Amino acid sequence: MKILVTGASGHLGAKIIEYLAENMPSSNIIAGVRDTQSEKAQKFTAQGIEVRETDFDKKDTLVQAFQGIDRVFIVSTFGDVESSIRQQTHAVEAAKETGVVQMVYSSAPRADVSDFFLAGIHRVREEIMKESGIPYVFVRNNWYVENELATIQQCLNGAPWVTSAGEGKVGWVYRPDLAEATAHVLTGEGHDNKAYELSGENLTQQQFVDAINEVTGNHIPLLTVDDASYSDMLKGANVPEDVAALLVMTQQGIRAGGLENAHSDLEILLGRKPTSVQEALQQLLS
């Protein structure tokens, strides 16, 4: 069975390939990247992993790359609704034309029903896959612990942990766990047309800060503010306006419960307990 992983130059895709390579011959793994001449692409080649160009904005690259492929991992990309529809349509059309038998897509928590501001685009992309008739699997990834690294660094340098998310909980997950679970889906059986909610233990902002303090021995304080003050603080720190708006929407979404989720699917796919937030922080901050 041949498996192609798109977004192989990215953090998630590269890790999926790493886990696949532990369990199947390199000759059956294909790394899909936009830049086939990059250093990352050359590393795959050196490992005996074939590299093919996969750019969701260029359907012809997908049709070429999916030749002879059985299963494809489709990485989500950041963009507006229009580009998401175009890219996902290119992917499913290419899969149809080349006879791909399963597409695995990295989606968002409860993408089919969630009000969280990022869920809508994933819902549209899931729908395009469902309508294609090609067997699909949605791995609905919750918030990476890794997303917080820059903030954690600022806090270790003396800043408080500022939030307007109130008591909202997040099912923070360690990205390598998501990659490992996805690799299990790509190599396993019985996953067709399923959606897996891949979340870790649900924690409040205070509980997350407690975990950082426990791991680092620091005493980072939590500063609870309202959305307007949070936004002002970001602007004061010269965060670009569009990024600040996204960060405020994230806090609002968390407060409304948008990233709190059931979390048994990850353990089932991994066949072990997921990495705890403490363990993940230990790995990331050591």
Ligand X SMILES: NC(=O)c1ccc[n+]([C@@H]2O[C@H](COP(=O)([O-])OP(=O)(O)OC[C@H]3O[C@@H](n4cnc5c(N)ncnc54)[C@H](OP(=O)(O)O)[C@@H]3O)[C@@H](O)[C@H]2O)c1
- Residue 34, interface with ligand X (CB under 6 A)? yes
Half-sphere exposure of 213 (CA within 13 A, CB side): 14
Query: Considering all CA atoms of the chain, what is the largest pairwise distance in Å, rounded to the nearest integer?
Result: 57
Binding to ligand X (CB under 6 A): which residues in 113-172? 141, 143-144, 147
Number of residue whose CB is nearest ligand X: 10
> What's the DSSP call for residue 172?
-
- CA distances in angstroms from 216 to 162, 204, 267, 274, listed in the order given: 18, 18, 26, 21
Residue 56 lies near ligand X (rule: CB under 6 A): yes
Q: Is 258 in the site for ligand X (CB under 6 A)?
A: no
- One symbol per residue from 78 to 107: x for binding ligand X (CB under 6 A), - otherwise; what is it? x--------x------------------x-
Is 55 a binder of ligand X (CB under 6 A)?
yes
User: Which of these segments, 54-62, 65-73, 90-98, 183-191, binds ligand X (CB under 6 A)?
Assistant: 54-62
Q: Which of 4, 12, 137, 183 touches ligand X by CB under 6 A?
A: 12
- By CB under 6 A, name the one of 64, 67, 77, 278 that touches ligand X: 77
Distance of CA 187 to the CA centre of its chain: 19
Backbone angles phi, psi at 5, to 5 degrees: -110, 115
Residue 253 in the binding site for ligand X (CB under 6 A): no
Residues whose CB is less than 8 angstroms from the CB of residue 116 and which lie 6 or more positions away in sequence, other chains included: 108, 109, 253, 256, 258, 259
Cβ–Cβ < 8 Å for 103, 91: yes
Tell me what percent of the chain is helix, strand and coil, each rounded to the nearest 5: 50, 15, 35
> Any contact of residue 196 with ligand X (CB under 6 A)?
no
Residue 73 lies near ligand X (rule: CB under 6 A): no
Task: Tell me which residues touch ligand X (CB under 6 A).
Answer: 6-7, 9-13, 34-35, 54-57, 75-78, 87, 106, 141, 143-144, 147
